Chain A
Amino acid sequence: MTLSEGVQLVAFGLLAIMMLGGALGVVLLENIVYSAFLLGGVFLSMSGMFILLNAGFVAAAQVLVYVGAVSVLILFGIMLVNKQQPFLPVKSAWVGKAATGAVCAGLFALLTATVFKTSWAFSPEMPVGDQAIVEIGKHFFTDYLLAFELASVLLLIALIGAIVLARRELIPDTLPGEDESEALQLPERPRQLVSSVAANTSDSDA
């Protein structure tokens, strides 16, 4: 065994432990902030796995997108929406739990089937290494063009949705003047009700 093989073996073991332990922590820990941080750790160890597979670009993209953007946004969401309220006992909660269990079992069965159906023999082709970026680019604009464009349209929809949600300023649940006097109102831009906004969208950009 040469040095590089030994390093790869040890790195694989460490990354696998980090990944599995982190993933279990994400599911099992009570504190949702811990779960979110551990999710970032799982993504990081996943990018380490990509490096071991000679996929440097995918590894860097994994760090950039999942650790740098997705995890941070999840954390952001958790920290901004710090709602402290006890869980109300929901009637017939077992239906939801059973459905979740069924979905999880189904996913697990599907993945297991895929694991057993995939041929894990080493590909005879040489890994492209640093040329992978060029290959990925070619695939994006030929045989994976539809998926690529659909993903970009999906992102565009999310972007527009976020802007629409963020632009809706100060819409109260009650009519102005219904439960507060004029003197108590702060000088804000004219308020609109959700219903009137919905009615106005047809003729003007709210």
Chain B
Amino acid sequence: MNQGIDLQGSFIRAMVDLGFSPGVAKTLWLPLPMGVILVAATVSIFVTVWLERKISAAAQQRIGPEYAGPLGTLQAAADGIKLIFKEDITPAKADPWLFTLGPAIVVIPVFLSFLIVPFGQNMVITDIGVGIFLWIALSSIAPIGLLMAGYSSNNKYSLLGGLRAAAQSISYEIPMALAVLAVVLMSNSLSTIDIVNQQSGYGILGWNIWRQPAGFLIFWIAALAECERLPFDLPEAEEELVAGYQTEYTGMKFGLFYVGSYVNLVLSALIVSILYLGGWEFPVSVTWISGLLGISETTPWLQVITAAIGIMMTVFKAYALVFIAILLRWTVPRVRIDQLLDFGWKFLLPVSLVNLLLTAALKLTFPVAFGG
């Protein structure tokens, strides 16, 4: 198995050569990938907000932001600076502690989930055994923050929005977890690295989307619902609830909800690309090409190219999905709350159960194709 480049190993070896002890070298290494991922996640907000503005403008035959930076790319930065300088108002009858804590609890689990997102064989903060399960667990914390924000605002719209958010998130977590379970069944592991490796070797033909078409759709719908994107943005349905749990928030606390929702969208797209679209795999297997050209897999320059292609492919697939999500948002009307809950419990849940059973049966019947 080609291990690809091992940045951690190389870094620690270089530091040890410079005269540091291995423990100190490891300590110096630890914050680097975390910092890089944090910065990347933050930059992804700007990219996504810009995409959202430009694509929505195109969908409505407008031009969109144009003057802030080239093609309006700095519009999101301008928005952010505006939010930072806005007055931070806590309503007089609100609960100040819960009001402040709510947005933080929504945002922190989202950033924490980047722990398990791999961009290559060794390009992950940590390859823990529970992998994808950790993401499911972390994403279930957010509703507490939403309930906290909704309750502490002391506003009926906020409370209703918070309750809706929690109900929606709980309802769509189950089909999503079942869809993930079907993928895990095929890869025999919860680790995101193993899930991608199980799809590798055959290029685009090996990706899970061909083996799990129903699971892919279920997961994508549930992920959109978890992100509270239109057509599922019931918690902040402005015609009914003003802005749901965000109604009373101003300044950066309000901004945190936005940061959370956009990072969550990018994260969900990344997870979909890992689970169903082969993660960092190029549509044509790089191993196969190098074999055809007669180049050894362990050639250093080939490894660098493979790693670069891996990162680009992961990000490209994720942003292709973000593009679809944005198009959906600006073309599809919102569903009603009863339709939303009916769809989750009466359609997605049975379908995902059937999908799981079918996957188990197929795995027993065709162990070659379904990871025996």
Q: How many residues of chain B are within 8 Å of chain A by beta carbon?
A: 27
Question: Is the pair A72, B129 in contact by a Cβ cutoff of 8 Å?
Answer: no
Most buried by A among B137, B141, B143, B151: B137
A56 contacts the other chain (CB 8 A): yes
Query: Bound complex: CA of A75 vs CA of B147, how far in Å?
Result: 8
Hey, which chain A residues are within 8 Å of B59, CB to CB?
none
Specify which chain B residues have a CB less than 8 angstroms from the CB of A64 in the assembled complex: 133, 136-137, 140
Asked if B163 and A37 sit within 8 Å, CB to CB, the answer is no
CB neighbours of B173 from chain A (8 A):
68
Given contacts A3-B23, A40-B144, A63-B141, contact A76 B130 (CB under 8 A): no
Contacts of B147 on A, CB cut-off 8 Å? 72, 75-76, 79
- Is A69 an interface position by the 8 A CB rule? yes
Instruction: Select from chain A the residue with minimum beta-carbon distance to B142.
Output: A68
Name the residue of chain A whose CB is nearest to the CB of B146: A72
B23 CB contacts on chain A under 8 angstroms: 2-3
**Residues A68 and B140 in contact in the complex (CB < 8 Å), given A3-B23, A60-B130, A130-B129:** yes
Which residues on A sit within 8 Å (CB–CB) of B136? 60, 64
Having A57-B130, A72-B166, A72-B170, one finds 8 other A-B pairs with CB under 8 Å, namely A33-B151, A44-B141, A59-B130, A61-B133, A69-B170, A72-B147, A75-B151, A79-B151
Q: Does A19 contact B (CB under 8 A)?
A: no
Shortest distance from the beta carbon of A166 to any chain B beta carbon, whole Å:
11
Interface residues, chain B, with chain A CB atoms under 8 Å away:
23, 27, 98, 128-130, 133-134, 136-138, 140-141, 143-144, 147-148, 151, 159, 162-163, 166-167, 170, 173, 190-191
Smallest CB separation, B88 vs chain A (Å): 22
9 CB-based A-B contacts, threshold 8 Å: A37-B148, A57-B129, A57-B130, A68-B143, A68-B170, A69-B140, A79-B162, A133-B129, A133-B130
Interface pairs A-B: 4 shortest CB-CB: A68-B140, A130-B129, A64-B137, A63-B137
Known: A2-B23, A75-B147, A79-B147. A63 touches B130 (CB 8 A): no
In the complex, how many residue pairs between chain A and chain B have their CB atoms under 8 Å apart? 77
Interface size on A (CB < 8 Å)? 28
Q: Which residues of A contact B167 (CB under 8 A)?
A: 76
Report if A80 contacts B (CB, 8 A): yes
Residues of A contacting B162 with CB < 8 Å? 79
Residues of the A chain whose Cβ atoms lie less than 8 Å from the Cβ of B151: 33, 75, 79
Is the beta-carbon distance between A67 and B170 smaller than 8 angstroms?
no
**Chain A residues in 8 Å Cβ range of B140:** 63-64, 67-69, 72
